Amino acid sequence: MGRWCKILESGKDKGYAWLVLSMAFISYVMHIGFSCGIVGNLTVIHSQQFDIRLQKSSLIGSAHMGVVCLLGPISSVLVRKLGYQVMQIIGGLCLVTSLGLSYLSTQFWHGFVLFSIFAGISISIMYTACSAVVSDYFDKYRFFAFGTITTGNSVGLLAWPIISQRLFAKYGYSKAMALMCIPQFVHVVAGILFVPLQEPEVPEESYNDEFDKKIEENAELSKSSDVNNGKKYPLRETDTAEKSEDTFTLRELWAVLKTKTIWILVANAFFWNSSVITFFVLIIDYVIRSVGLTEEEAAFGITILGVCKLCGGLVVLCLASLKFDRLILYSAGMMVFSAAVVATVFITDKAMYYTITAVLGLMNGIVYGNVLPILTDFGEPQHLVILLGMNFLGEGVGALTMPSLAAYITKAIGHQYGIVFSGVCGAIAALIVIPTVIYKHKQSKLSHKDDIAGKAETITPRENSLT
């Protein structure tokens, strides 16, 4: 038992951390991969099960994805407050319960409450918890760890459509949903293994010195004052004293929200997810109507996109050990994706369609593989959970609003203009992050100059002593 605890204490980047990474990867396959992979089949099955129109049935899947994304900020606060282990277990149990109760679903509102809301909340919580535990357990190999769990989404996106379709065809909706809830218990197992890392013990003397230093800093701060409307008010004691964990989390969230870079991140997520969702909504109908492909040929193009997306994630995983500006790769992937989306309006045959979907899948995988690593470019690493929640918020708002606008453009002007609108949204997402890339590059040059100046100052006294 003592040896086990020792492994837990020294588990950052080695030992127990790799078991945590494996379970986080499996959890990704089983929650966010499950969500993205099954929502298309459920649209058709819900229409048949509840005897409703396809447009109304699609509302269940759209609301589900919206809940997953929009609850990102709330999930991040809960994970910071209660811990990733507790929230992972709660999310797993809630997902198992929602899918299990779907066995009894007979009406539209049953599916909406159980899958759209209940399952959406569960997946949002677990997505944040898995990202937080990987960030906590990895430092040196953090980029590799983030790339690994991100590929879980692609694996789930490839596996779950086939698995769910066969289950629905063989057992029907009720039994298939009950069967699919059984493997979801893996989230509870993962939560049990997501043991919070123990901080190294600090010697009592150094702890006392640090505590005395904090007291002196608070005493100096208490002498300062706050200016408000031209009047000076002394700072309250609560402004300088250490607050509870809940208050600290809220203060930290508010401090992050006041920065400009966080809203650049939200805007980027908004336009990028709008581009991706809009493209997937319009492309099948467009190639069937305009190019003359069959439904099977059009669907096979999406399969090619999914395979290439997995390859793109693996490319990012292979580049994890290299040092380069990932924000540039992230922006370039979005720009190439947008250009390929616009190029789809010039498709004339099946081969051209498959080639473009392959490029789209590769770029999509590269972008999503870099989402978690580049979040720290928009804030401090310790704020990763909050940054992830805000990124989710932007994606959710984009998924709920822009596809409707694209559908209106398609109906009012033409199908090709809806596709072009999707590509423009992706290009805007790529351009939004360019100021951050430039600012980061300038900061790196300034720090490099400071390092050179510091080395020159250390060398000069030595030369003077020699002379």
What six digits make up the tokens of 183?
A: 């493997």
Q: In whole angstroms, what is the distance from residue 98 CA to residue 177 CA? A: 9
Q: In this predicted structure, what is the pLDDT of residue 448?
A: 54
User: Cα separation of 103 and 181, whole Å?
Assistant: 10
Half-sphere exposure for 302 (CA within 13 Å, toward CB): 19
Enumerate the H helices of 138-259 as residue ranges: 142-181, 186-193, 204-223, 237-240, 245-257
What residue spans define the domains of the chain?
A: 1-195, 245-448
Q: Do domains 1-195 and 245-448 have the same CATH topology?
A: yes
For residues 382 and 392, give the distance between their C-alpha atoms in angstroms, rounded to a whole number: 17
Nearest of 448, 411, 424 to residue 342 by alpha carbon: 424
- The fourth-level CATH superfamily of domain 1-195 is MFS general substrate transporter like domains (1.20.1250.20)
Q: Where are the alpha helices (DSSP H) in 344-433?
A: 350-369, 371-374, 384-412, 415-432
Q: What is the pLDDT of residue 246?
A: 42
Q: How far is CA 407 from CA 192, 278, 290, 410, 422, in A?
A: 44, 8, 16, 5, 11
Report mean pLDDT in 10-residue bins for the chain, 467 residues: 47 79 91 80 79 74 78 79 89 92 87 88 89 84 79 80 83 90 92 79 50 52 45 42 45 69 83 83 77 76 81 79 76 90 88 89 85 68 70 79 78 83 90 77 62 58 51
CB-based contact 271:398 (threshold 8 Å): yes
* Confidence at residue 251, expressed as pLDDT on a 0 to 100 scale: 67
Q: What integer pLDDT is reported at residue 93 of this predicted model?
A: 94
* The pLDDT of residue 335: 92
Reduce the DSSP state of residue 258 to 3 states and report it: coil
**CB 52 within 8 Å of CB 46:** yes
CATH architecture of 245-448: Up-down Bundle (1.20)
> Which residue reads 């770029």 in tokens?
363
CA distance 33 to 79: 21
Whole-prediction pTM: 0.66
- Contact between 262 and 379 under an 8 Å Cβ cutoff? The reply is yes
Structure tokens at 102: 């779907």
